[in-house]
Amino acid sequence: MNLLRLFLRESRDWVEAFLGAVPGATGVALRRAYYGFRLAEMAPGLSIQTNVSITCPNHISIGRKCYLARDCKLYATPESPIRIGANFSANANVMINARGKGHITIGNNVLIGPNVVLRSNDHVFERATVLINEQGMTEGAITIGNDVWIASNAVILKNVFIGDGAVVGAGAVVTKDVPPHTIVGGVPARKIGMRLA
């Protein structure tokens, strides 16, 4: 019985690896059809480019007209869902990681540049007498409002709310909430401007 389960599990991995490598419009259409059955919710117009990795898709919801560029990674679990609104665009090599017991919610019309990391959990490391990988994790939430731009190489950490219309500059590390229409940058990220009304 265990061998049968292993075969079935790896069969799905092989199918996803094959589908992930198919180029062009054919690949996009095949991935859209496949993930239409696998995702918790998927509105029309999803475009998934090559080599995108989606773990636990039945706990991921994606709105209409969304785009996942090459090499993006979405990691969910039954305890850590991901919800993405409409008109979302993730550039190459974006990682959205809710594993653990955190969760990630992204609003409508959000743009994410290449190499951005959203991670709703952290390693515990306070005790120097215990190995870090034996100290567990702390979980939280990331919530991103509507009309937000997160520029390339930014990192968004747990327990962060990014308000509507905000901009996160390239390379910023966001550890605290970002008010609506605020522009932040730096490590750790701080206010560097406001969007004009």
What is the residue-wise DSSP string for 95-118? EEE-TTT-EEEE-SS-EE-TT-EE
Q: Which residues contact 85 (CB under 8 A, 6 or more apart)?
A: 63, 106, 107, 108, 109, 110, 146
Residues 122 and 125: their CA atoms lie apart, in Å, by 9
Spot the catalytic one: 59, 103, 123, 181: 123
Nearest Cα residue to 164 out of 86, 112, 84, 109: 109
Residues 99 and 137: their CA atoms lie apart, in Å, by 10
Using CA atoms, how far residue 135 sits from 61, 97, 100, 122, in Å, is 31, 19, 14, 11
| Residue the block writes with tokens 């007498």 | 129
In the residue annotation, 123 being an active-site residue is answered as: yes
Q: Which two tokens stand for residue 61?
A: 């919801």
Which H helix or E strand runs over 38?
helix 24-38
Chain centre to alpha carbon of residue 172: 17
Catalytic residues: 123
